[in-house]
Structure 1
Amino acid sequence: MKQSALFIAFLLTCFLAQAQVKISGAVKDNRGKKVISASITLKDTYDGATSDSSGNYTFTTTEKGNHILVASAIGYKTVEQTITIANEPLTINFSIKEEINELKAVTVTAGSFAAGDSKRAVTVLNSIDVATVGGGNADITSAIKTLPGAQQVGEQEGLFVRGGAGYETKQFIDGTLVNNPYFSSVPDIASRGRFSPFLFKGTVFSAGGYSALYGQALSSAVILESIDLPEKTAANASISPLFAGAGYQYLNKQKTASYGIDYGYVNVAAYFSLVKQTPDYFKMPQFHNGDANFRFKTKNGGMVKYYTTFGTGNLGIRRPDVDSSVLKDAFSLKNYNWYNNLSWRENLGNGWKMNLGSSFSTNKDKLSQQLQNQNNQPQHFGDDKFWMQYKNFNLDRLEDLSQIKAVFDKKLGNLNAIRFGGEYWHSLNKTTIYDTMYKLIDNYEALFAEGDIYITNNLAAKLGARFEHSSILGKVNLAPRVSLAYKVGNSGSISAAYGIFYQKPENQQLMYTRNLGYTRADHYILNYQKMTEGRIFRVEAFYKKYLDLVKTVPVNYYYTTANNSGSGYAKGIELFWRDKKSFKNLDYWFSYSYLDTKRDYLNYPIQLQPNFAAKHTASLVVKRFITEWKTGIGLTYSFATGRPYYNLRYDGALKPYLIADQGKTKNYNNLGVSIYYVPQAGNTNAKTNVVLFGSVTNVLGYNAVYGYNYSYDGLHKEAITPPAKRFYFIGAFFSWGVNRSEDAINNNL
């Protein structure tokens, strides 16, 4: 019996072996490259195999008839093929396409630095970075100036990017334009931005080639996305020799809605008594600032956000008059600003999303300029010195801007998407000077569309266009935009971008004449970026061609008109390197910009290097948090070669302007230091969290010169310098309900 059983088993084994059919083949991707570890199986059976190091597979099966053979691999689309199994071996080859997914797909980076909580964001600067940049004092613009492309301009507010003037960079919050992002300033002194970095969860600094969703920025765009909901209910307070403030944020138990309010008061009298200023402040600068917000989630997972902020300011300053050795210029400023932003983000289903945004802002400036004698008494002059009389004036300025914007977004499978929409701006500007009022009203409309096209995880494109119309110009334009990105290796990418960008002339230019059109800049950008864990390397080359820039044309000594005959170019190369890995507990980044630019605009007689542009600019930022000391230290060193200065004088109708004097300022150097101490670091149970903060700019005492002011006859010039050699800041910040000490530590290790 035992021998019979063995014989039957032998026969059965031979029978099964004869009944098995061999199935084999190869698995490759759509580019013909082998795919390793792909799974090949007969559907609804246990038969199958895995591709080897050559992409080949083989297995045997006893199944017969029609079946479905399935090939799948991580990162690729599953492919099914119907086969008929008889008695002969089968060879089935597969070509599978790469699955485009958010984590592996290349990102278009040409022209832009991004930061935020997006998985695909190129994390360069977050809110903690902005707050801890050495000497930056939590100012967004000061932090961005450490990135390539931005110039080190200290005598006026704004971001000067790649040969563009400060007014050619615009800021947007939740999709809508901010009309007055900086505090109103006095001549030759820059002011800081109005908004705290902790209001925002995402920041994009585009030095060029930005999205078709945004317009009216000839050179650059700073795109800010506000936070949705706070972490928890919390209160805060702050105090320093410069200001005092307090705030409260409430989050409901369901974490679906919140509201908040903050108030701050600034008065520099105590600080100026300790740190002497070069100008004579006859009205000590003081500011009141407050903001409020509410936010709630919708039933479909959307978000509604409202933010409002108001501010008032008052100051007066005296300086020696450049045309006299005994007279003074007394300048005073009163400002009122109110900004409102309402946005609604909603999921509409079937891959559709909607973003609605609206904003309203009003800004009122009351300026006064008066010539005074040594006793601070007003001085007046006759026709023999008419240019002196023009130094006495009162100017009232009102700027209102209302906006509404709608963007619709549709996913087309994987990461492919199309977005489109439109926006409308209504602006009212009134300027009254010498009892004459200039009133400018503009109705601006724009339509835009943009598509994200992912051909593979390694190749992507962004195509877009923007159509604009301005009623005050009576003209339309069409601005195409295109960007490409190709993945190189596991962590590198090459990106390219091209676009046409338009911007309306400034209001003070439209006061001369309404017979003006859009100014234009064509952007060409090529970059390489490599990102690994804790490191970013980036090199970018760019070329900009300026067309239709505004030229001022003097009719006589008293009257000036303008046209669009100006032109120019900007070209250069930029480097950026950030490293959080090489040195324990140390984070640093380095940026360098080379800029070659010339313009023939405003009163320039020929193409000249603009007086705000330096050929070489570099920054080094170093940060470290020393856990044992519960102390963070930030150092920022910035360098720029000298900028040109010109004395351009009216010379009659044949040669309207000539260069009476020119030169270059000395090189710019600035070392800023910030130190903050967190007593409760590591103590998550602390009821009151305290951060003690201090910073100093220009630690080494460099004597900065930004340019020169000239007398009317051109025989005398005075250097434009900071009001004080250094700026010092100390303050204490308290919070109850939320512990941010871990954020401060983790983001600086």
Structure 2
Amino acid sequence: MRYLIILLIVFPLLIKAQEISLKGRVMNKKNQPLSGVNIYISGSYDGAMSDSTGRYQFETALQGKQTLIFSLSGFKILQRELELKSDMEVNITLEPEAEMIEAVEIRAGQIQVGNKYNAVLSPLDIVTTAGSMGNIIAALEKLPGAQIAGEDGRLMVRGGDPSETQTLVNGIQVFQPYTPQANNMPVRGRFSPFLFKGTNFSTGGYGAEFGNALSGVLNLTTAQEIQEPKTELSFSTVGLGISNTQAWKDNSLSINLTYTNLTPYTKLISDRIDWLRPFQQASGEAIWRKKGKNSFLNLYATYSFEDFKFKDESVEFGQQVTTDIRNKNAYVNSTYTHSLANNWKIDVGAGLGYSNKDLGYHEYFIPNTQWGTHVKASIRKTAGLKWQWLMGAEHFYQKVDESFQIGESAAVDYGFKCNYGALFTEGNYQLIRGLSLSAGLRYINTLKSQQFVEPRASLGYLINKNHQVSFAYGHYHQEAPEFIAKFKQDLPWAFAKHYVFNYSWLQKGRLLRFEAYAKDYKGLYQYDTPSPQYQSQYAANGFGQVKGIDVFWKDNKSIPNLQYWISYSLTDASKKEAFYPVSVQPTYVAKHQFSIVAKYWISALRSQASITNTYGSGRTYFNPNEVKYPMSKTKGRNDVSVSWSYLLSQQKILFLSMTNVLGNEPIYGYQYRSTADSNGHYQSQAITPNAKHFIFVGFFWTISKNKKDNQLENL
């Protein structure tokens, strides 16, 4: 670890050579300027984007023979060989792709959120969705294949429980991506949207680089570019925040501080919770970026503290009980990229996570401490569109310590350690024109007598520039989740096999995406009590199958100023896991999920209006008063949320949002008492939201030299 830290910090500090200025103009065949063209020197990060007049300019310390690349979606990539000795002007003309078929843009199971041509959503889309409240996780629920249980808040993918989806930052695992959870109170994602410019959300069939996830991977990425200086202020009904970015030479530092306190809010708007100490959170994030001649370094760090206490009704005790939580969480992530000659690239990264949670519930005191590390290194080689190759290695370590104490009695200590390594390799090859194959292997050694080899493959065919199909297949293993592993160590890893078929139709401003999939499970975890406990008996002999279809339609073009998208998911899940004696639809899965999101820009009012309607069919629950299987089922839930963003000026925004405007009262399921009464009946309690609505009002102010810059993309 010491040598890795030295490599990350010392290696990028390169001596800056005398710089050469490159400038010019990019036009099309009709002699019209092209904006947004990506211009860069091959094998380096030196480059620029053309402006609205087609002009570009940047400086480089490179000299001698170099290759200047011009790239724009819909046009042929142009490479120009140069001899860099002094300042140069290079004017070029790009030719359209016309009927030329190049490489497959979409891999089955993978959803891109970013500024790429094949992106399902842009960063702006994902955080201006009504009902998301700036929570990246909540916004992802509006995508096909994703679900969030209302009483939980964590992301679930295609019939998998929340533990089956891993969250990463720049490819490095985050061990605690959510705020602390209390009884039937949904959590939030920990990360601020404005620090992340891209999202790779895989709902299945993902490549050999990622593992320890049976269902999905959410990889958040920071921009590999120096940020412009600015200050952002926010004031809202739940707290305040400030962020500042400073830049000097080839460095930038961004710091984001937020404080949330629900005390004023709970006094104005009541809910079913009897708050003794309303939710408070103080958090800070920082990211330092350094650009070298052929390298880029990201150092990200975050710390947060949460504190809350409340009373609510417990069916188990037949009275109100107190929940008291104090939590501290820290995470550090560093990634370094270095481009070598001949299109070789090295990536190294490391992450360290720490969490300390003190939970008081009724007469119980349950402190929990967690540590986690992830170290990763890889090397990549690219040969144009013909083939790309990746090879790497990584190591994970996690340690969880927990104890359980009743009153003044002696505490019972338990926990687990996880320690494993992995090797991975994958190549992408263009077999013939328009037909691409990705094939990879991942090898896992748990360092405790378990070893796995996981084949992964994806085949894609670009029918023409608008239509493409792809198929993905893969083997995936995952260790026992924390809520089981802390009671029973060394259980065999669970296994899933993925089959995913994708058809996509893309046209400027429109996208249709259809996927059909199947997952086969083995080694799912079971226990002999209604919930995992210290005394429970555990085994890894469960099994299951999930199959379904996902449909996504997005249209930015048909109606001026209107953007909308529609998603539908059919999830047919049958799993024998937990305490179920037979294979059933899991309690956390809705078989049908439908969302429609619409956003309309009203120029006369300088406003953006957004409305979201999300419907989920009924979920199963186990009723001990019934002896039949399958289990009982709740009614479906429907949520209509709205938001309004009003530009007081270009850099000052007033934002209003409200969830569940129709006032529906969904029931997520039921909790039952563990023992029956004298009549043999088990008393029950419905699991419902804490409040019918959540209302948010905020003011956001950006201060920067770029007078067009604002925080609309963060809302």
State the TM-score, normalized to the length of structure 2. Answer: 0.82
What is the rounded CA distance, in whole Å, between the counterparts of 1:100 and 1:350 in structure 2?
Answer: 29
C-alpha separation in 1, matches of 2:432 and 2:617: 44
CA contact (8 A) 1:102 1:415 kept: no
Partner of 2:655: 693
Give the match for residue 154 of structure 2. Answer: 158
Q: Distance in 2 between matches of 1:730 and 1:233?
A: 27
Label 1:507 to 1:747 Cα distance change in 2 as closer, same or farther (>3 A).
closer
Distance 1:486 1:331, change over 3 A: same
Q: Which residue of 2 aligns with 1:317?
A: 310
Aligned mate of 1:359, from 348, 351, 376? 351
Counterparts in 2 of 1:372-521, with a 5 A limit? 392-434=363-405, 435-471=411-447, 473-521=448-496
For the pair 1:678 / 2:674, whether they are aligned, the reply is no
Q: For residue 350 of structure 1, give the secondary structure of its aligned residue in structure 2.
A: helix
Helix, strand or coil: the match of 1:581? coil
1:213, CA displacement in angstroms?
0.6
What is the CA deviation profile of residues 305-348 of structure 1, one whole-angstrom value per residue up to 9, with x for unaligned ones? 101010001111111221454x2211111000001000101102
Matches of 2:168 and 2:109, distance apart in 1: 17
Aligned CA distance change for structure 1 residues 747 and 423 (closer, same or farther; 3 Å): closer
Q: Distance in 2 between matches of 1:741 and 1:396?
A: 48
Question: How many Å apart are 1:131 and its aligned residue?
Answer: 1.9
Structure 2 vs 1, CA of residues 489 and 228 (structure 1 numbering), >3 Å: closer, same or farther? closer
Query: Within the alignment, does 1:269 sit opposite 2:238 as a pair?
Result: no
| Corresponding position of 1:665 | 634
Distance 1:241 1:662, change over 3 A: same
Q: Matches of 2:354 and 2:710 in 1, distance apart? A: 35
User: SS in structure 2 opposite 1:704?
Assistant: coil
Post-superposition Cα deviations, 1:126-185, rounded to whole Å, max 9, x if no partner, equal 221122101211111111100111124111131111110011111111111111111112
Does residue 621 in structure 1 map to residue 619 in structure 2?
Answer: no
The offset of 1:665, in angstroms, is 0.9
The one-character-per-residue Cα deviations of 1:250-282 (angstroms, maximum 9, x if unpaired) are 112x4x211122211110000011110101111
Q: Does 1:220 align with 2:216?
A: yes
Give the conservation status (yes or no) of the 8 Å contact 1:157–1:190: yes
For 1:19, the equivalent position in structure 2 comes to none
CA RMSD of aligned residues (A): 2.6
Matched, 1:288 2:300: no
User: Contact (CA 8 Å) 1:648, 1:660: kept in 2 or not?
Assistant: no
Asked whether the 8 Å contact 2:106–2:118 carries over to 1, the reply is: no
Q: Quick one: structure 1 residues 740 and 643, their matched pair in 2 at CA, closer, same or farther if it must change by over 3 Å?
A: farther
Which of 673, 678, 701 lines up with 1:734 in the alignment? 701
> Partners in 2 of 1:563 and 1:512 — Cα distance?
12
Deviations 1:540-578 (A, max 9, x none): 100000111111146999832211110000001111000
CA distance in 2, matches of 1:411, 1:490: 23
CA distance in 2: counterparts of 1:109 and 1:705, whole angstroms: 37
Structure 1: runs of 5+ lacking an equivalent: 1-73, 78-98, 371-391, 650-656, 682-688
User: What secondary structure does 1:480 align onto?
Assistant: strand
Is 1:298 paired with 2:295? Answer: no
- Cα distance change of structure 1 residues 476 and 658 upon mapping to structure 2, 3 Å threshold: farther
User: Once the two structures are superposed, what CA deviation does each residue of 1:394-449 show, in whole Å capped at 9, x if it has no partner?
Assistant: 10111111111001001234341110100011211111113111132222100000
Are the structure 2 counterparts of residues 228 and 660 from structure 1 closer, same or farther at C-alpha, using a change threshold of 3 Å?
same
Flag the 1:747–1:240 CA change in 2: closer, same or farther, 3 A.
Answer: closer
Partner of 2:247: 251
User: Is the contact made by 2:263 and 2:279 (CA closer than 8 Å) also made in structure 1?
Assistant: yes
Distance in 1, Cα, partners of 2:366 & 2:264: 30
**Counterparts of 2:453 and 2:427, CA distance in 1:** 17
Match of 1:138 among 106, 112, 134: 134
1:55-94 equivalence runs, <5 A: none
Equivalent of 1:176 in 172, 179, 184:
172
What is the distance in 2 between the residues matched to 1:212 and 1:738? 43
Alpha carbons 1:678, 1:741 under 8 Å: kept: no
Q: Which amino acid aligns with 1:242?
A: V
Do residues 112 (structure 1) and 98 (structure 2) align? Answer: no
Residues 512 and 561 in structure 1, CA contact (< 8 A), matched pair in contact too = no
Aligned equivalents of 1:739, 1:276: Cα separation in 2? 42
| 8 Å Cα contact 2:400/2:486 also seen in 1 | no
1: CA distance, partners of 2:246 / 2:622? 54
Distance apart, 1:125 and its partner CA: 2.1
Residue 465 of structure 2 aligns with an amino acid whose one-letter code is N
Question: In structure 1, how many angstroms separate the alpha carbons of the residues matched to 2:533 and 2:659?
Answer: 42
Corresponding residue for residue 545 of structure 1: 520
> What does the per-residue CA deviation read over 1:193-242, in whole Å, with 9 as the maximum and x for residues that have no partner?
01122211211111101121111111011111112335411111111120
2:146 maps to a residue whose letter is A
**Distance between the aligned counterparts of 2:142 and 2:707, measured in 1?**
25
Alpha carbons of 1:158 and 1:558: their partners in 2 closer, same or farther (altered >3 Å)?
closer
* Runs of 5+ unmatched residues, structure 2: 1-74, 79-96, 406-410
- C-alpha distance 736-283 of structure 1, shift in aligned 2 (>3 A): same
Aligned to 2:321: 329
CA distance in 2, matches of 1:660, 1:616: 20
Q: In the alignment, what sits opposite 1:715?
A: 682
Partner of 2:549: 573
Q: Distance in 1 between matches of 2:433 and 2:469?
A: 13
Q: Note if contact 2:498-2:518 (Cα within 8 Å) is conserved in structure 1.
A: yes
Q: CA deviation at 1:661?
A: 9.7
Distance 1:76 1:669, change over 3 A: closer
Letter in structure 2 aligned against 1:273: K
CA contact under 8 A between 1:101 and 1:415: conserved in structure 2?
Answer: no
**For the residues of structure 1 that align with 2:638 and 2:365, how far apart are their CA atoms?**
37
Change (3 A) 1:697 1:211: same
Amino-acid identity (%): 31
Deviates more, 1:413-422 or 1:265-274: 413-422
- Does structure 2 conserve the Cα–Cα contact (< 8 Å) formed by 1:152 and 1:640? no
Q: For residues 439 and 746 of structure 1, what CA distance do their matches in structure 2 show? A: 41
Instruction: Select the residue among 499, 502, 506 that pairs with 1:527.
Output: 502
Q: 2:438 & 2:413 partners in 1: Cα distance?
A: 45
Greater CA deviation, 190-199 or 564-573? Answer: 190-199
Distance in 2 separating the partners of 1:438 and 1:100: 64
Matched residues in 2 for 1:517 and 1:396: separation?
A: 27
Inter-partner Cα distance in structure 1 for 2:357 and 2:99: 51
- Whichever residue aligns with residue 304 of structure 2, its letter is G
Q: Contact between 1:398 and 1:430, CA under 8 Å: does it hold in 2?
A: yes
Give 1 or 2 for the bigger CA radius of gyration.
1
Distance 1:554 1:744 in 2: 48
Residue in 1 that maps onto 2:27 = none
- Of the candidates 718, 722, 725, which is equivalent to residue 692 of structure 2? 725
Q: Is the 8 A contact 1:170 1:217 kept in 2?
A: yes
Deviation of 1:538 after TM superposition, in Å, equals 0.8
Letter in 2 for 1:107: E
- Contact 2:487–2:533 (CA under 8 A) maintained in structure 1: no
Name the CA distance, whole Å, in 2 between partners of 1:721 and 1:199.
33
